[in-house]
A and B are shown apart, each in its own frame.
Chain A
Amino acid sequence: MYVAVKGGEKAIAASHALQAKKRRGDTKLNEISIHQIEQQLSLAVDRVMTEGGIYDRQLAALALKQACGDQVEAIFLVRAYRTTLAHIASCEPLDCAKMLVERRISAIYKDLPGGQQLGASFDYNHRLLDFSLMAESEPSNEYPIKANELEDEQVFTKVFSLLEQQGLAKSEQSREPSEEPLTTSQSFPYSRVERLAQLTRSDEGFLLALAYSTQRGYGRNHPFAGEIRTGFMELELEAEELGFSICIGQIQVTECEMVNGFVKPEQEQAHFTRGYGLSLGAAERKAMAIALIDRSLQASDYGEAIDGPAQDEEFVLAHGDNVEAAGFVSHLKLPHYVDFQAELELIRKMRNTKDTL
């Protein structure tokens, strides 16, 4: 006679053992190291840090290794770890004008103070598979990491400060300074600060598609890439015991500022509007997508019609988090015997009722 399936514990343990084996792959090959991932898959690491919400290259590399390269799974691992970290203190706000710039481009001026600095980029690269990479090179001193990588980098004036000087764009002030760390409890509307923090953690693919939709007419906002910059920022912390700020380390960030279509408020001269995006590491596509969506979510501030999904704050922010989305989609794999039985009972009752025919 049938008895309800037992042995769930053993089955789970066996499944995990199989996954561990799959992660390792063929044991005749060398195991990939955390350092190799961190150094050679750096953009994957950057995405995991940005969406995982912790700036730690080694942890992100570990998560990628453990997740067999599945980015959403790696982001989830980092987020779950983040829960266990105590919030010790909040850093001073970053001033990206002080960034030691590795890459800085502007699409709105041919030349500008400091010039265009391409840095490392896939841009202008012909996307031809480079078969020479199939051969594995031995360790060498071809590109050694310098003791002070940053000594060549310099500080650049921000493009938007040039526009602000001429009154062509409004300067931005943090409207809601807060001592508390940013948390989200999903009460709409969000402040812009909360919104930007949420967008940085949101899924890159989701934001990219929404940003693209604004370019195709679902909430168009006439963007120009005012400035995109990647570089290193010092994190400063004011410790209560000391009474002054100390530098606690450096992080790499990418910032995008879009110049968007102008407005002409009453009593004021016409000026451009702007969208802002920040990501950890060199996640440039992500920063651009955030900036486009930041602007599209300002539609109500400028009295614009809200008729595209990217302009709808509840739609964008409630569905952008890939840890939430992946969890809820995957929960369909959990047993639903009881609810399905309830539906079976109902559908049979309906089929037995003649008057519904």
Chain B
Amino acid sequence: MRSVNEHINQSAQSEQNYNFAYLDEQTKRMIRRAILKGIAIPGYQVAFQGREMPMPYGWGTGGIMLSASILGPKDCFKVIDQGADDTTNAVSIRQFFEKVCDIEVTQKTANASVIQTRHRIPEHSLVEGQILVFQVPIPEPLRFIEPRETRTKKMHAYSDYGSMQVKLYEDIVQYGHIATSYAYPVIVHGRYLMDPSPIPKFDNPKLHMSPALLVFGAGREKRIYCIPPYTDVKSLDFEDHPFSIQQWDQACAQCGSHDSFLDEVLIDDQGGRMFVCSDTDFCQQRQGNSND
């Protein structure tokens, strides 16, 4: 415990500027401890003392707190939203970290040591040593089956996940397909049911045996969870209805890719549309353009 005078001196010094990465060092340590616990128990939601950030809850505060806690002066940081570096909120978050950390930023997936993302996993394979930080709105995969935290906690404790299988089964009965196209539930390391955040199920296979560390932050709900490198991640399915990912008949209109996630863009008011890669860096690289 520091003396009152030490605190007052320190706060007088730091008054000119915010601490590196905005959060104070004690808060960062608290968050890093939660991350370590999350790594030790893959897929388990660790409660932590969330902080109010200068962006609204629901706009990536969980991811921002995680990034703020793990970024160091030598890191190279990339931020994407919907796969793109130039979407308004990705721009805003990147500018925030440029302001409070003065670190190197990049749009190239391969150059980044830490990537914060909303709703996508980059197409370019991640490698060992990289950290992917996910922004999570609702961390609890069972929330829309059971709204009460006190009950879902028990369901996780007992691995009581039958109700999720029943929900997927009901989809098949009603629609002929599993009707979950994003935030598709997974089982991590054969134990915890986990919401991979609202990434399209197209990205779920990239979670399995990922060489990069995957960390998930839910700021408003104050939960952190992790998938350590090379962890088994299985998307829920049935033997006769195996898990499958989205496919398009078209290729990307800009780079011709056949195996990336495509966004549909309306080009006129007569129903004309085209398809382009949602991952802007991937698309630019394929077109031979350099981003940085």
Contacts and interface: CB of A to CB of B under 8 A. Distances in A.
B128 interface: no
B11 interface: yes
B interface: dominant SS: loop
B148 A314 contact: yes
A350 B175 contact: yes
A142 interface: no
Nearest to B275: A341
Contact of A342 (B4, B48, B56, B201): B201
Interface in A324-357: 324, 326-331, 334-339, 341-346, 349-350, 353, 355-356
Contact of A183 (B49, B83, B148): B49
B175 A338 contact: no
Nearest to B148: A314
Interface size class for chain B?
35 or more
A341 B262 contact: yes
A240 interface: yes
B182 A323 contact: no
A185 B267 CA distance: 46
Contact of B4 (A3, A88, A334): A88
A350 B264 contact: no
B57 A353 contact: no
B290 to A, nearest CB: 16
A128 interface: no
B285 interface: no
Contacts of B253: 1
B3 interface: yes
Given A88-B4, A334-B81, A342-B200, A350 B18 contact: no
B188 interface: no
Contacts of B149: 186-188, 314, 318
Contacts of B49: 183-185
B177 interface: yes
A12 B88 contact: yes
Interface string B167-209: 0000000011101011100000000000000111110000000
B159 to A, nearest CB: 20
B57 A4 contact: no
A248 to B, nearest CB: 10
A83 interface: yes
A82 interface: yes
B56 to A, nearest CB: 3
A331 B118 CA distance: 12
Given A323-B57, A353-B176, A89 B92 contact: no
Given A338-B83, A342-B246, A353-B176, A8 B91 contact: yes
How many chain A residues sit at the interface, stated as a range, is 35 or more
B137 interface: yes
Contacts of B86: 4-8
Interface in A233-260: 239-241
A108 interface: no
Nearest to A79: B52
Contact of A83 (B52, B92, B220, B248): B52
Contacts of B53: 80, 83
B200 A339 contact: yes
Given A240-B3, A331-B58, A185 B48 contact: yes
Contacts of B264: 341, 344
Contacts of B92: 12
B141 interface: no
14 contacts: A86-B24, A185-B47, A186-B47, A187-B47, A241-B4, A318-B149, A328-B57, A328-B220, A334-B59, A338-B182, A341-B261, A342-B246, A349-B177, A356-B175
Question: Which 6 A-B pairs give the minimum distances between C-beta atoms?
Answer: A327-B57, A331-B58, A327-B56, A342-B181, A328-B58, A79-B52
Given A334-B89, A350-B177, 12 more contacts: A76-B52, A80-B52, A80-B53, A83-B23, A185-B48, A318-B149, A327-B220, A338-B199, A339-B200, A350-B176, A353-B176, A355-B176
